[in-house]
Chain A
Amino acid sequence: MADLRVDFAGIKAPNPFWLASAPPTDKEYNVVRAFRAGWGGVVWKTLGEDPPIVNVSSRYGAVTYNGARVAGFSNIELITDRPLAVNLREIKAVKRDWPDRALVVSLMVPCEEESWRRILPLVEDTGADGIELNFGCPHGMSERGMGSAVGQVPDYVEMVTRWCKQHTRMPVIVKLTPNITDIRAPARAAKRGGADAVSLINTIQSIVAVDLDAMAPEPVVGGQGSHGGYCGPAVKPIALRMVAEIARDPETSGLPISGIGGISTWRDAAEFIALGAGSVQVCTAAMHHGFRIVDDMIAGLANWMDEKSHGVIEDFSGRAVRNFVNWEALDLNYKTVARIDQALCIKCGLCHIACEDTSHQAIAYEQSEAGRRFSVIDAECVGCNLCYHVCPVENCITMVEEVSGKPKLTWKHHPNNPMREAAE
């Protein structure tokens, strides 16, 4: 059986599945329930200075796609709305009772050294395993000069990280906002400031929907709405790419990454880990289904690792990073064509209409006594995969390699490239 234990920037946990700093980790009550359910660690809901902030009602919006609820999720909540002392007392109690789990405390205080100097010893006193700097919250807090307002300025990221490293012995994880053009800049800044790790992504600035009766963005608060932070399954592709960019950046290579964004299953987690994450954090999936989802995450990951003969997480962590290249490094002589398994085909015609209307007219449609038939015209197929994605039947369309026998040819050396480099 695979060993799921992780040592993330010196923080040990029985498995890589942590709950992200959010409502699921706001109180002792929730966190204890999470640990009972089997979560390897939590990042406590972000603490700030007293007096606590005040939240609005309502707070969440969501995207239902084709009947699937919470395909995307958006919130306009702020950091914890409970007094600092209450949170600290509960953190201490939880850490005492659950010494084997990772307990990281998320922090957001004004961008002044004194504020950080004041709060860090209080956190350290709880026995927590580390801190996570919330530079990511895209709403409410950023307008007060905190959260993503800091995260969007690499110099601030570096400065605050440095203060924290000076005033605490705890590992410092810097949580990055995706609301920035080049995610590598704040990651590099964090590293320069001495960060032990980064975590990403925080939520994406968004308007999740417009209430067409109220004529206001959702969630509607007294007839008006604000922009919120978008997360959930819909943001996973964005998060994966940002994690991978940091993982392959020579300047930050080796910096531990905690992957966050749309993780709902063990497979999602495995993908983040393959692209360089050392642990993963989950929020929306838990808010959607409750803590019990971690069961299948743990068992699923372990079973897959057994199947692939990965004994420990490090065995596959970052393994996909070297295959994440820029487009111009791809082989233009590599070719696939679509193959339809006629025995599986249910004749829905989706492949045909997709290719016919929007791609390469490479799927023929015939009607005869024998019924409908859809077949690929090999000579027209460019191997774009569109039909493969729209076909509703598992394994009915496969993309098979057409061996050209030609050597690898990239854009760099392609005759059509006016700026091509001569072949070596």
Chain B
Amino acid sequence: MSGDAFLSEEPDIASHRRDEAALVCDFADAHKPLSPDAALVEASRCYFCFDAPCTAACPTGIDVPGFIRGIATGNLKGAALKILEENIFGGSCARVCPTEILCERACVRTAQEERPVAIGALQRRATDWLMARNLQPFTAAPASGRRIAVIGAGPAGLACAHRLARFGHRVEIFEARAKPGGLNEYGIAAYKLPDDFAEREIDFILGIGHIAIATEKALGRDLSLASLRRDYDAVFLALGQAGVNALGIEETPLAGVEDAVSFIARLRQSKDKGSLPIGRRVVVIGGGNTAIDAATQARLLGAEEVSIVYRRGPAQMSATGDEQAWAETHGVGIRHFAAPLRLLGAGGRVRGVVFQRTRLDANGAVVLDRGEFTLPADQVFKAVGQRFVLPETEGFPVVKGGRIVVDAKRRTTIAGVYAGGDCIAGLDLTVRAVEDGKIAAEAIHADLSEAKEHAHG
């Protein structure tokens, strides 16, 4: 970097850096679906393990060998049902789950030959098959007369609602945003859930009936927990993480500096991806999924130099090895061991970031004693983590460490109020959110049934 010349240059932020055709192609499916033949060959690699380790490693406990056998025998409907029975978001999980740290890592073929059965791809084969036929395999039990409020229409909220509907309960979902889906709609990288898949999946889930969604209704702003508790038999909080962490340095507002999640949300929502302005040189600060997705998609939009800068090493990144490799093969540079010190601006617009080199001490703490360097940037995305935002409503359950406290059944500290997904502690993954929704629905149903028995007895 020759001097500070870049500081006086105009920021280079432009739209339509790549031609339309290239964009359409690159924002389409990151991984092509398995052809029917390829799925058969892959299915035949599954050993049909006893007490299968892949199932144990799936947060929703999908009977993996069971559904793979269905694919192998041509019983695709049965295969899809096995998946959806445990995980109603089986279709999006097949696309977004980091299988390399879940089921596929546990697959015995990983131990045997470092090539697991492609469980995610097979799961997609089965669920796509069913969805393509517009089959609605689930029916709701006769109406129970119970009404349950679900706050947040992300994977956790919708999974809970679906299971409650199966029990015959009536569910009303309140969602702050204009569209349901949560991060499936606003967060997941466009090439993981391309086109209108998230929307179609929600239609499929709502197909069971008994579920109504009210959008642009936020707990705290439009609704109070007290009124919900009064009007409904139970409340499930599936609020996700509406806030983002700050860099922890002085941040004078500069144009061109943005939260990665907002950039991703804008990108997901725009039909014409090319119209999104993107910097020539982009710096992404952070080490998780969000950093990977923002950086990779910036490259796809045509950014010339994209760097992810993370303050620890590759092993500490919450993005998996596969995700890091994915970004790198898309031309993203990952610089480890550097923490932001200050943003450089000129004329109110960002021009670069000064970083401090770091190292980890014996306890794994970051030490800043290795000098500084500067990365010029036309655009900077902050991806140092999302955080749960406490809604402004009275009598909210106990929150600890920034997440709602729950027991094993996802009951909060307030009777009749349950919570799950990213707003409680645990792995921040779609599949975990689905499992929380499922467990909470079972608990709500059991608790309501018990209450009824007591009432009769």
A residues lining the B interface (CB < 8 Å): 66-68, 346-350, 352-353, 365, 372, 392-393
Contact = CB atoms under 8 A, between A and B. Distances in A.
A304 B108 CA distance: 33
Contacts of A352: 50
Contacts of B53: 347, 372
B50 A66 contact: no
B57 to A, nearest CB: 12
B115 to A, nearest CB: 12
A346 B72 contact: no
A353 B50 contact: yes
B40 A67 contact: yes
A348 B44 contact: no
Nearest to A65: B44
A392 B50 CA distance: 13
Most chain A CB within 10 A, of B44, B49, B72, is at B49
Contacts of A365: 50-51
B41 interface: yes
Interface in B93-150: 108-109, 111-112
B112 A349 contact: no
Interface of B: 40-41, 43-44, 47-53, 72, 108-109, 111-112
A350 B50 contact: yes
A346 B50 contact: no
A135 to B, nearest CB: 39
Contacts of A347: 53, 108, 111
Main secondary structure on chain A at its contact with chain B? loop
Given A66-B72, A348-B50, A365-B51, 5 more contacts: A67-B44, A68-B44, A349-B49, A392-B112, A393-B112
26 contacts: A66-B44, A66-B72, A67-B41, A67-B43, A67-B72, A346-B108, A346-B109, A346-B111, A346-B112, A347-B53, A347-B111, A348-B49, A348-B50, A348-B108, A349-B49, A349-B50, A349-B51, A349-B52, A350-B49, A350-B50, A352-B50, A365-B50, A365-B51, A372-B51, A392-B112, A393-B112
Nearest to A351: B50
Contacts of A392: 47, 112
Most chain B CB within 10 A, of A66, A68, A348, A350, is at A348
B75 to A, nearest CB: 13
B122 to A, nearest CB: 13
A350 B48 contact: yes
A372 B53 CA distance: 9
Most chain B CB within 10 A, of A353, A365, A392, is at A392
A216 B397 CA distance: 66
Contacts of A348: 47, 49-50, 108
B54 to A, nearest CB: 10
A392 B65 CA distance: 15
A361 to B, nearest CB: 14
Contacts of B112: 346, 392-393
